[in-house]
Structure 1
Amino acid sequence: MNVDNRVVIPLRAALLVLLAVLIVLQTLSFPGQFAHMAAESPESAHLRWPATALAAFLILCVEVVLVCIWRLLTLVRGDRIFTRASLIWVDVIVWTVAVGWVAFAGAFVYVGINADDPGLPLLMFVCLTFVAVFGLLMIVMRALLRQATDLRTDMDAVI
């Protein structure tokens, strides 16, 4: 068992657990929570379905990123991470993060305009900042991966 397997196998197990939790949140927890909130606060009941749809969409974005990470781990195990195939998965991560960020930013603006208490908008701002940093980090990692892929291609041509 090489070093890659000592990292890849536990990471895949963690990804599976995280994916299972996200599916439960997406299908049971958030829809039930928003239904309960609509029943408790009839003045906000009109937000039940938009909030449910947004939560499901944002969780779907996270699930797509997890699948891409799984695929990248497959490339790591096969010693093919420094190929053009890996760039496709990193691009999907970057675009998924961007789309999710825009959707969440729209919700942030709506909540910020209608908020009585600064707590939720502040929490949403922290989440937006975290996701923006993650997205920018993925762009940098993509550039590094591209450079490493080009170097590996050049080395393979020499050898």
Structure 2
Amino acid sequence: MVKDINNHIEFMKEFLNDINTLLARLSVKIREEYQVSKEQANVIRMLEHEKAMSLTEITERQGVNKAAVSRRIKKLINAGLVQWDKSEESMDQRMKYIKLTELGKQFNIESKQVMSDIVGNISNDLSDEQIEQARHVLEIIDQRLKQVNIENNF
């Protein structure tokens, strides 16, 4: 039983490594086209899900210092991918948020298309049932990862 668990753990490590390697290599082309770093691309993807975020929120999510995030944001603003936005909803009108521009949204659309193409190629010979089974297991893993992130304040 322990040997099986160790094999499963090794497989998951290899699987996650393969995914990260593939994503990194695929994203290089689009990042070069938009002239953004991997860290800047992460900010752009974050903003898609959160709509607008403060510098502090981005800093906390990326786990780096505020100066590093400020430099990333400045470069993204200069590239026309994000912009500062004063929130109408905030009580503190001094609070500024960063949001995507149309160009930043286009970056995310193109990034997603690359992923869709890869997923289509990888899964084209699987049955609908196999795809549903895989999705079910991946959803369970995803929920557990999210819980670990919450428990560890990530």
| Structure with greater strand percent | 2
TM-score by length of 2: 0.27
| Structure with greater helix percent | 1
